[in-house]
Chains A and B, each alone.
Chain A
Amino acid sequence: MGKNICIIVQLITGGILIAELIIALKTIKDKHAPILMRSFFWYPLVGCFIFCLIISKYLNHIPNNIGFIANTISLLFHFSFLYYFIYGITGQKMFFKIIGCCILIVLIFLIVLDLTTKYITSFAFANAALFCFSLYYFFSMLVNHEKTKLNSNPFFYVCCGIFIGSGIIVPTSLMIKYMYLLKTPKDLIYLVTGLSGVGNIIMNSFFIKALLCSKQSK
């Protein structure tokens, strides 16, 4: 049952990523959309590529080590891209840049150390950092209280996505790690992995909403 849930969640994620990519590609030429949103297509593009690799891995079309490389690239890209996005919308402050670089270095170290456990710790760490960055965005938004309406602000939706997505991914990932250590039945591990995937689905759904908002901002 757990494995089936996991596969269904992966397939839904794939579908959402494809939809996101299509909308993001349509936003590229939209001159009214913010520049950050116009370059957002890279995120679903890489996501779709990774999704294809995962599918190929399931179908045993690619060797395991290529899967690992793809996972590494995916994790680093996921963190760097979303970090750069929040960095761009929070006013490009120096301390934020330094913190981001430090976290990236720690993340690379964690990936190297985490090779045996399928990057679960690194994945949780990267998402915890993103969760904190999105929190920082919300608080800076409250302090600066801009004139823009939140329901038409694409950056707000992106940060909501990161916040809720990471908020789900971090505890579930840590739980998976803990379950591996306790040698819990695989079915339960798959179930929690599926729940973690739900976080991903929510995150990408918010990104779609953000992309639609940036198209309507004209």
Chain B
Amino acid sequence: MQQTEQIIFLFIIIFTVLLLLLSSFIVFIIYRYKQKQNAHLQTLQTIQTTHENAIMQAQLEMQEQTFKNISREIHDNIGQKLALVKLQLITLQTNTTIPFEDSISSIGHVINDLSDLSRTMSADAILANGIVQAIRFEVQQLNKTALFAVDMLVTGDVVFLESKQELILFRIVQEALQNIIKHANATVVNIVLDFTKHNMSVSISDNGKGFIEDKHIGQGLKNIVARAKMLDGTCSIISSLQKGTALKITIPIITTTEK
């Protein structure tokens, strides 16, 4: 009888240990799962922070570029026109027979230029009418400088992209155009925007001096490639010496209904 009781006691202990072991395993699985889930969340947060930083960086660079444009515009264009008007007004003081319509016309031009400038003051204003209009405006500004002839072509049905996508893409175009201004010595620049059902591509080509692709990849081009990747897109750069450079960025379309 005592032996049977001992066996029963033994059974109960074995059963309890077994139950504890199985429960411990479940607890371990839950612990590991939560650990993995936390690590996954942290990775996601890091990616999100990096993405937000990149967008902020793009915004800052765009602002900097805008300020440079404004500074150049005030110095080279508006300043010159106002100096001319000042001269005309000084002449009018001594010689009243000279017609002052020229001065009025010059001031009208200055007012128009100032109006254009005010539109370039913020990223929101630039992208308010979508990427196509923003690039078109940039082309107009460049054509005014007469550094080179810029031609723009839009094919396919234009769609409004998601605002962050537009901002980064516009910054890519600005960077590419700045590269052409700084290094290419080009006379003609072609910009083609192509919209398909799922993708949008921007091609920027010039007839400048070109470069050896592997050797002369500068920070500007690296930024372009990195930003294209950030948009889940692809970037191809083809360049040959004395023939020019062609840059093509293709990104998936994420549409928005905001605009």
- Which A residues contact B (CB, under 8 angstroms)? 138, 141-142, 145, 147, 150, 160, 163-164, 167-168, 171-172, 185, 187-188, 191-192, 195, 198
Contact = CB atoms under 8 A, between A and B. Distances in A.
Given A164-B19, A188-B8, A141 B26 contact: no
Given A142-B33, A163-B26, A188 B7 contact: yes
Nearest to B38: A145
A118 B19 CA distance: 25
B4 A185 contact: yes
A171 B18 contact: yes
B29 A142 contact: yes
Contact of A168 (B7, B18, B33, B40): B18
A34 B4 CA distance: 49
B37 interface: yes
B164 interface: no
B25 A145 contact: no
Given A163-B22, A168-B22, A188-B8, A141 B15 contact: no
Contacts of B33: 141-142, 145, 150
B18 A138 contact: no
A145 B18 contact: no
Given A142-B36, A145-B37, A188-B4, A160 B26 contact: yes
Interface centre among A164, A168, A198 (most CB of B within 10 A): A164
Contacts of A138: 29
Dominant SS at the A interface?
helix
Nearest to B36: A145
Given A185-B4, A188-B4, A150 B36 contact: no
B30 to A, nearest CB: 6
B11 interface: yes
Contacts of B29: 138, 141-142
5 contacts: A145-B36, A145-B37, A163-B26, A168-B22, A188-B7
A191 B8 contact: yes
A192 B18 contact: no
A164 B32 contact: no
B26 A198 contact: no
A164 B25 CA distance: 9
Interface in B22-63: 22-23, 25-26, 29-30, 32-34, 36-37, 40
Interface in B180-195: none
Contacts of B21: 167
A191 B22 contact: no
B26 A145 contact: no
A187 B21 CA distance: 27
Contacts of B37: 145, 147
Contact of B15 (A145, A160, A195): A195
A195 B7 CA distance: 14
A168 B19 contact: yes
A163 B25 contact: yes
Contacts of A160: 26
A163 B27 CA distance: 12
B26 A168 contact: no
Interface in B220-252: none
B250 to A, nearest CB: 30
Nearest to A143: B36
B13 to A, nearest CB: 11
Contacts of B19: 164, 168
B40 A187 contact: no
